[in-house]
Amino acid sequence: MMDAEAAEALLREWTAGDSLRKHGFAVACCTESYGVREAARLGLDGEAADEMRALYRCAGLLHDFDYERHPTPEEHPFAGVHYLREHGWPEEMLHAILAHAGYSGVQPETHLDRALFACDELAGFLTACALVKPTKAIADVESKGAVKKMKDKGFARAVSREDMRHGAELLGLSLEEHVGNCLAAMQAQSAKLGL
Ligand SMILES: [Fe+2]
C-alpha cells in the first residue's frame, strides 16, 4: 500500500516553505478526489480502492517536493524522481510526476498522469481565489466565480489558463465540472490546507 504519511513526511522534510508545502497538500486533495472517482468508475472497492486513492494522493503530495532544492528546469522534477525511484516508489507515480512538467518530454498518458496535470495549476488558482476573499477561506469561493476570474488576466497571472483548460479536456470534463470537483475537494480539507 502506498504510504501517504510517508509522502507527507518527505514533502515536509524537503520543503521548508509554507506556500510550496500548502501547494502540495492542495494538489494532493484534488488528485485524491480523482483517485476516488476513478476507483468507483472501475468498480474497485475495499483495499484496491484505498490503494488507488493513496496513489493519487501521494502523486499530488510529491509532484513538487524537490522544487525547493532543485528549482531549475534542468533538475526539477528529475532530481526528485531519481530519489523516489531509488527509494522504491512506484513507476506509475513517477511517470505522472514527470508528465506534470510540460518540458520533461513525458506526455500525460494514464488517468493519474492526466489528473495530476489537471489539478496542479487549478489548485494554485483556487488558492489564489480564496486568498483574495476577506475571510481568506476556500469555503467562500464559488465555482462560478472562480471560472469567471479566469478571464481576468491581471489576476493570478502566473497560473496558466491554457493548462487549466487543457487539464479539464484531458480528463474529459468541462472546465466548470473540473473546477467544481477540485473546489469541493479543497473545501472538504480546508483545515489541513489552512484555507
Ligand atoms: Fe505544482
**pLDDT tens digit string along 160-184?**
999 999 999 999 999 999 999 999 9
Give the pLDDT confidence of 97-113 residue by residue, as tens digits: 999 998 999 999 999 99
CA-to-CA dists, residue 139 to 7, 24, 34, 54, 125, angstroms: 26, 19, 20, 25, 15
Cα(91) to centroid of ligand 1, in Å? 19
Give the pLDDT confidence of 26-68 residue by residue, as tens digits: 999 999 999 999 999 999 999 999 999 999 999 999 999 999 9
Cα(47) to centroid of ligand 1, in Å? 28
Alpha carbons 11 and 24: distance in angstroms, whole number: 8
State phi, psi for 44 to the nearest 5 degrees: -80, 150
**Ranges of H-type helices in 42-160:** 46-62, 78-86, 91-99, 111-131, 143-149
Give residues with Cβ within 8 angstroms of 101, minimum separation 6.
Answer: 73, 76, 77
Cα(24) to centroid of ligand 1, in Å? 7
Cα(171) to centroid of ligand 1, in Å? 18
Q: Where are the domains of the chain?
A: 4-193
Where residue 78 falls among pLDDT bands split at 50, 70, 90?
Answer: very high
Side chain identity at 23, as an amino acid letter?
A: H
